[in-house]
Structure 1
Amino acid sequence: MTLKPLRDPLPLLEQALREWNAHEDMWIFGYGSLIWNPDFEFAERRSARVNGWHRALKMWSRINRGTPERPGLVFGMLSGGCCRGVVFRVPRDHAAATLTRLWAREMVTAVYDPKWLTAHTPQGPVRALAFTLSRKSPSHTGDLTEEEYRAIFEQATGKYGTTREYVHNTLEGLRRHDIHDRHLERLLRLISR
């Protein structure tokens, strides 16, 4: 079964490219699978923090980590708090092509709201593109119980594997960058009981 996008992803890509300063290299903020599987060429990677947003395992995945009948979960970046991750610098000559390929991966169903945000790095702030999630999106899970998380971790599998593998890989990627996500670690302890 092919899922139809919530909206046309092409105008969102065109808007992101218009809002980028094409005279500069492009920065992309990773907070989930982009940390451990960026799947694009980059010239530099830095640890980064974005204020006003946080990583949350509250986005339904009906393709990559689940199916329409049995959705899995992936991370979204929700408003509020702060999010530690990494930024990738893509040379400006390759930026448009890289972003177009990234769009094919991240915006298949056009769920995310791409936003240019200030990412604070040890070398100073950069303006980076981040894939955020609205709480009004039909892909936002709302609050899930421990039992719901456990069932999803036990049963959800999609095109790229299970929700459990995705979360484990993200946690390991965060640790490799010395990022501690206490909420995620607590959630994994709860559902492993």
Structure 2
Amino acid sequence: MSNALWVFGYGSLMWRPGFPFAERVAATLPGRRRAFCVYSVHHRGTYQRPGLVLGLAPGGSVRGMAYRIAPADWAQVYAYLLEREQPTETYVEGRRFVRLADSRRVEALVFLSDVHHPQWAGRLSLERQAELIAGATGLSGRNVDYLRDLVEHLGQEGVHDRSMQALLELVEAREAAHA
């Protein structure tokens, strides 16, 4: 199945893909890491009060989910992903090899953070991330809910990301102090 069509998700696509798929497998993408490195002015913030969303920043490796898409569904899935992942074109579409949990190596569509885009936040301290996430709200809801969902769903998949947990604790403490 060398010409199979795969999509790699590392954030909300892991638990809320929103498209039909033929197979769902835990996968690891080398050379990139999960990070709150993109200013959100659409889904989780506004231009006046940006939040932060996940991106695939350079370095490390990231565990996520790979989805095999049936060829008959590819056009519909691809159009959906462009609409979902590219509202402000902060990601660069790419094809990268991922290692599936069953040891297969497949090429998948990924959306990489565009480090040259004005919404690229880069490597921020946990404190600065918490400051941006606390209180931010966009078309898809509160930024803290996105972070909370991430930590919860990563845990359900057996991924315990200490930095994401620490960030959530900082954001919740900040929001409680301003309630």
Tell me, which stretches of 5 or more residues in structure 2 are unaligned?
174-179
Write the distance in 2 (CA, Å) between the matches of 1:44 and 1:191: 35
Change (3 A) 1:165 1:105: same
CA distance in 1 between partners of 2:71 and 2:4 (Å): 4
> Given the alignment, which residue of 125, 138, 142 partners 2:122?
142
Determine which of 102, 109, 126 is the counterpart of 2:88. 109
Work out the CA distance in 2 between the residues paired with 1:156 and 1:67: 8
* Contact 2:134-2:172 within 8 A present in 1 as well: no
Partner of 1:174: 154
- Find the counterpart in structure 2 of residue 81 from structure 1: 60
Once the two structures are superposed, the pairs formed by residues 10-159 of structure 1 within 5 Å of their partners are: 24-123=3-102, 124-159=104-139
**Post-superposition, which runs of at least 4 consecutive aligned residues in structure 1 deviate over 4 A?**
none
Q: Distance in 2 between matches of 1:175 and 1:29?
A: 18
Change (3 A) 1:143 1:53: closer
Give the TM-score normalised by structure 2.
0.88
* Partner deviation per Cα, 1:27-70 (whole Å, 9 max, x = no partner): 10000111121111111110000111101011111010001100
Shift of 1:182: 2.2
Rounded Cα–Cα distance in structure 1 between residues aligned with 2:76 and 2:139: 24
State TM-score, norm by structure 1: 0.82
Query: Is the Cα–Cα contact under 8 Å of residues 136 and 143 in structure 2 kept in the other structure?
Result: yes
Secondary structure at 1:76 match in 2:
strand
Note the C-alpha offset of 1:131. Answer: 0.7
**Higher mean C-alpha displacement, 68-77 vs 134-143:** 134-143
Are the counterparts in 2 of residues 133 and 140 from structure 1 also a CA contact under 8 Å?
yes
The two structures, once aligned, show a CA RMSD in angstroms of: 1.8
Tell me the amino acid that sits aligned with residue 166 of structure 1: Y
Q: Deviations over 1:97-138 (max 9, x none)?
A: 211111111112111011111110122111111110132221
CA contact (8 A) 1:58 1:141 kept: yes
Equivalent-residue separation in structure 2 for 1:96 and 1:175 (angstroms):
32
Following superposition, the deviation at residue 191 of structure 1 comes to: 3.7
Question: What amino acid is the match of 1:39?
Answer: G
Gaps of 5+ in 1: 1-20
What SS class does the counterpart of residue 155 from structure 1 fall into?
coil
Q: Percent identity?
A: 35
**Corresponding residue pairs, total:** 172
- Residue in 2 that maps onto 1:17: none
1:10 matched residue in structure 2: none
